[in-house]
Amino acid sequence: MDNISSYQSLLDVLKQWLPYYIVAMVAAESIYLLVRFKQAYSKETWVNISTGVVTIIVQAILKTFLFTDLYPFVYEHRLWDLELNGYTLLLGFFMYTFIQFGTHYVYHKSRIFWCLHEVHHSAIKMNATTGLRTSIFDIVSLDILYLLIPLCGIHPIVYFILYSLNKIWGTFIHFNEKIVSRIPILEYLLVTPGTHHIHHASNIRYLDKNFGEVIPWFDQLLGTYARRSEPIVYGTTTVTHELGFWEAQVHEFRSLWHDVKNAKGLGNKIKYIFLAPGWQPGDLTGTARYVQKKYFEDLKSGITPEPVALANEKAE
């Protein structure tokens, strides 16, 4: 009981101060960029902030309602009894980061989930507020998989502590690269701003890389890790300009609806929804996997790929 009490005390502190940590980090970055680089925040930044506010109101309340009782319920029906100690905390950490890696991968590889996740990637500048830019419609989706943690016998409090700490670190790794880009001594142990910025790149060589948000080890083991070798162009292959709040939220859904509506046959309609972004019937040339594969094949053959425009990087 004393062990649980100490974890509960840590969680109470995190829950109480988490909003202040994030606001302080965003404010500190804003002031530094303004004073040091005379860089005022743009329209996109205010879209990020307003999205974060709406997300807190819409998502946080609903997720709290859905998961506060659900996690303890699943834990009561756990498969194993595991003592709450440092070992189970470590096990919970690796389960949490692996689920985070896996769900993040699915968000990129299934179009319906990409419609939700693309909101985050549609930012063409990188700063702390980008971490606030998420889909207001992503209420539950793949977060349900985190229930595997209490199901395996790890106390739900472990999940909530890791979730809170991840929000703090997740804000930091979006910091503008003028403030912090590479931290070489940490790059083998933790995801840093430099490695996460690559994940937000629209450069062909960087597509679908660095899915990890806390540790880079799963990317390194599974071949999705990339180091910076050329200037980063933020955004997506289809978004190269700032989007308004509502446009950022729905433009991918509009595109999906257009493809589904015009697809021939129920099978193709379903495939458009669940297969990779860029998929078309009998044609994979628009998918990130194919485009990237051809890019590297051209490089090996001595063919120089077309250079990536650096317009949004210059705007930094």
| d(C-alpha 305, C-alpha 293), whole Å | 12
- Between CA 64 and CA 60 the distance in angstroms is 6
Cα separation, 285 vs 292, in Å, equals 10
For the cut 80, the answer to whether the pLDDT of residue 1 exceeds it is: no
Whole-number average pLDDT of the chain: 90
Sequence-distant (6+) residues with CB within 8 A of 147 are: 70, 71, 74
Say if residues 213 and 173 touch (Cβ distance below 8 Å).
Answer: yes
Q: Confidence class of residue 309 from pLDDT cuts 50, 70 and 90?
A: very low
Residue from 41, 202, 229, 26 nearest 129 by CA: 26
Asked whether the predicted pLDDT for residue 58 surpasses 50, the reply is yes
Mind listing the pLDDT tens digit for each residue in 91-118? 999 999 999 999 999 999 999 999 999 9
Q: Tens digits of per-residue pLDDT, 107-148?
A: 999 999 999 999 999 999 999 999 999 999 988 789 899 999
Nearest by Cα to 8 from 156, 155, 162, 157? 157
- Which residues have CB under 8 Å from 231's CB, separation 6+? 310, 313
Report d(CA 281, CA 70) in Å as an integer: 40
Q: Are 192 and 198 in contact (CB under 8 A)?
A: no
pLDDT tens digits, 4-24: 888 889 989 998 898 899 999
Mean pLDDT for 175-187 is 83
Q: Give per-residue pLDDT as tens, 261-302.
A: 999 999 999 999 999 999 999 988 899 999 999 999 998 888
Phi-psi region of 208 (alpha: psi -120 to 50; beta: other; left: phi over 0): left
